[in-house]
Structure 1
Amino acid sequence: MNSDRFTQKSQMPSEEELHSSLGTEAEDAWVQLKRFAQENYDHLPEWNYGGQNYGWSIRYRKSGKTLFCMFPEKNGFTVLIVLGKKEIEAYMARCEEFSDIFRSLFDSAAQYHDGKWLWIKVEGAGQLDDIQKMILIKKKTKVRQ
């Protein structure tokens, strides 16, 4: 799928490798998206090897359900958000809140029997607004005490 990813099963990327690969703007976005997940959800990040085609990713998962995944790459990273029927309906009701680029990406994503898989290439923090809104549609934030 992407040769710019960390695809060696025996070599999980180190923090140093991550940061040198992502590039400055994408690294900023990577850190911000991790912070967003930490502040709003109880899902713990875990490294996951998705095979030779997908490589290493950090996934936010709880009780067997994945919220989203982040695949580090050269000069960016890709976010995967899997949407079920209810999430697609919720997005459709609010799609005007999203950027034209995001709506185009959503419209062109393949429709599977279990929903849509959104693969979003991130090169900078400017793209995070739409991604965070989509994650918030997928799952409400944890209740603050």
Structure 2
Amino acid sequence: MKSIFVYKNIKPTSKDLENGLGETFPIWKSFEDFTKKNYPDATCEWNFSGEKFGWSYRIKDNKRILIYLLPRDKFFKTAFVFGQKATNQIMESDISESIKTELKLAKQHAEGRGIRIEIKDQSNFEDIQKLIKIKISN
């Protein structure tokens, strides 16, 4: 499944995002605000990853992406890439077993293991905040 924003020449606006995400828009904003609060130098940008994926939103420091926010129809996904140190920290944390299992099963790449988590409600809210903090600290 790809972004709800698929036209390379039309960068999404905040209003487009709010309309597309519906009730999950405030959750998106809270993750964006939380990341910027915990890493004030973070920069945010829309990125078009090609026809297959469409537009995604990245919050990053000067050399790596802290969190990807991937807009879908009335929901979104968060995505992270964790190196080994961060992966170990997650496995030792109180983050939900389902996220740990997904991380364990994720393919190991040079930059780490990548996971995506669907956000349709507040159920993973605290876990995502913990993942953001772990990503920032590693």
CA contact (8 A) 2:3 2:70 kept: no
CA contact (8 A) 2:66 2:136 kept: yes
CA contact (8 A) 2:75 2:119 kept: yes
Please, which runs of 5 or more residues in structure 1 have no aligned partner? Answer: none
Root mean square deviation, CA, Å: 1.9
Deviations 1:106-142 (A, max 9, x none): 233233343210111111233221111112112239x
What's 2:26 paired with? 28
What's 2:42 paired with? 43
- Count of matched residue pairs: 137
Deviations 1:71-112 (A, max 9, x none): 111111111100111111222222xx0123323332332333
2:26 and 2:130 map into 1 onto residues whose CA distance is 18
Q: 1:3 to 1:82 in 2, by over 3 A?
A: closer
- Give the residue type in structure 2 aligned to 1:63: N
Please, which runs of 5 or more residues in structure 2 have no aligned partner? Answer: none
CA contact (8 A) 2:90 2:100 kept: no
Q: TM-score, normalised by structure 2?
A: 0.87
Q: TM-score, normalised by structure 1?
A: 0.84
Q: 1:68 to 1:3 in 2, by over 3 A?
A: closer
- Give the residue type in structure 2 aligned to 1:54: F
Deviations 1:42-93 (A, max 9, x none): 2011111111222111111222211111111111111110011111122222
- Give the residue type in structure 1 aligned to 2:28: W
CA drift at 1:3: 4.1
* Higher mean C-alpha displacement, 43-52 vs 97-106: 97-106
What's 1:75 paired with? 74
- Give the residue type in structure 1 aligned to 2:69: M
- Give the residue type in structure 1 aligned to 2:75: G
